[in-house]
Structure formats: C-alpha cells, structure tokens
Amino acid sequence: MVVEQALSESQVDRIFHALADSTRRDIVRRTLTAEASVSELAAAYLMSFAAVQKHVAVLEGAGLVTKEPRGRERIVRGNPEQIRRAQALLDQYEQLWRSRIDRLDALLAENPT
C-alpha cells in the first residue's frame, strides 16, 4: 500500500507557481522523459543560460525536479512522485466539484419547474 505524503499549503503554492510558467512546464515534461543537463535544457530555449538556471531553481524549490552534479554538469531529472502528489490534490478538487454537481442535479430533479 502506497501512503501519499500530504502537501503543506506552502508546497502547494510553490508547485502551482512553478507550473504557472510554460517554460517550466516544458522543462518538467522534458526531464520526466529523460534527464538533461542544464546546458542541454538552455540550448532548447531562446533565453540565457542564467534564465534557464533560474527556471530550474524554481522547479527544484517546488520539488518538481532534482538537480545533481555530474562532473562539471548539473543533471536535471523530473520528480514523478511530486507530480503524483499534485495530481492527488487536483483529484480531491475534482471529487469536490463532482459532488457539488451531483447534489445540484439531485436538487433540480426534486424540484422540476
């Protein structure tokens, strides 16, 4: 049985702040598929190496990627476990919304106009 570690409010804020940017979402997508050095990531975008480093730092702070030194390079990997935690939170919101819609449907069925 897998026990999901609950996210704190500050972790949730960092995750969704990080995912609010399209470049950061793309970096997560790329690094979930295959690890990449920060230099390789920087080559994929029309921005400076330093800007890509800042994006990676935001993602790392949110726990969405990990960065480890390998020689002179810094290798970035997506963190699927943190993505699962964020998905679990979104699933909870979806259940809440569906429950409210079901209650509204039941209320409307009881009171036809």
Return the axis-axis angle of helices 80-110 and 9-19, rounded to nearest 10°.
Answer: 100
Residue 69: name the closest of 77, 81, 58 by CA.
77
Q: Residue 109's pLDDT is what?
A: 82
- Residue 49, SS3 per DSSP: helix
Q: What pLDDT, in 10s, does the model give residues 12-22?
A: 999 999 999 99
Rg of the chain in Å (alpha carbons): 19
- Report domain extents, the chain: 9-110
Q: Mean pLDDT across the chain, nearest whole number?
A: 90
Class assignment of domain 9-110?
Answer: mainly alpha
Q: Residue 102's pLDDT is what?
A: 75
Q: How far is it, in rounded angstroms, from Cα 4 to Cα 80?
A: 13
Q: What pLDDT, in 10s, does the model give residues 39-87?
A: 999 999 999 999 999 999 999 999 999 999 999 999 999 999 999 998 9
Q: Within a 13 Å sphere around the CA of 43, how many CA atoms are in the beta-carbon half?
A: 5
